Amino acid sequence: MYFAVRLQNEGFGPERAGAAVGYTLLAVAAMIAGIFVFFFFGVHKSMRPMIWVGLAIMAAALWMMRRAWPAYWKVMMAYALWARVPVIVVMFFAIQGHWGTHYDVVPPSGDVWGTDWLRKWLEIGVIPQLFIWIPYTVVLCALLGVIVAAVRKGTRQAHASA
């Protein structure tokens, strides 16, 4: 919400509040659909192509969010990348060093990677961070930000006197 208020105060608010809310709700629906396809059809039924379909749907949610409020989308993408890239790096070292933490944990189905640390890092580190957590962060934060901006658009901001 901080970024939404700040952008709006600087004159970079959404052009049309109703359309911004609509696109954001569409992005949230796409995000939920992508998560459902990813986990229910992909992970639980072990259908690898459906994992990629779910990830693609979640990535499409980002595009929908961009349509809602382009300036906010840019800020949230930068925020999400700055939050997730360090996790990817930490996961690299955790998997390499066998830390035994949540950064290199084996899923309940067991260790399917064996000694292939690179594939493990890509499959539990890079891909989820980029294709699940970034869309999740951008879309769900946008839902709050767009609602705040829409509510604030209907109110006049008080200007401080000199």
Give per-residue pLDDT as tens, 45-66: 778 789 899 999 999 999 999 9
Residue 161 covered by a domain? no
* Residue 71 in domain: yes
Domain count, the chain: 1
Tell me if 47 is assigned to some domain. Answer: yes
Instruction: Report yes or no: 24 and 139 within 8 Å, Cβ to Cβ.
Output: yes
The whole domain housing 52 covers: 2-153
Does residue 36 form part of some domain?
Answer: yes
Say if residue 55 is exposed, middle or buried (CB neighbours under 10 Å; 0-12, 13-18, 19+).
buried
Residue 30 lies inside a defined structural domain of this protein = yes
Contact assessment for residue 77 and residue 130, using Cβ atoms and an 8 Å cutoff: no
Q: Is residue 160 part of a domain?
A: no
Q: How far apart are CA 67 and CA 140, in angstroms?
A: 15
Question: Is residue 159 one of the residues assigned to a domain?
Answer: no
How high is the pLDDT of residue 161?
45
In a domain, 140, yes or no: yes
Q: What is the pLDDT of residue 94?
A: 93
- Give the model confidence (pLDDT) of 9-32 as tens digits: 999 988 888 888 999 999 999 999
Q: How confident is the model at residue 85 (pLDDT cuts 50, 70, 90)?
A: very high
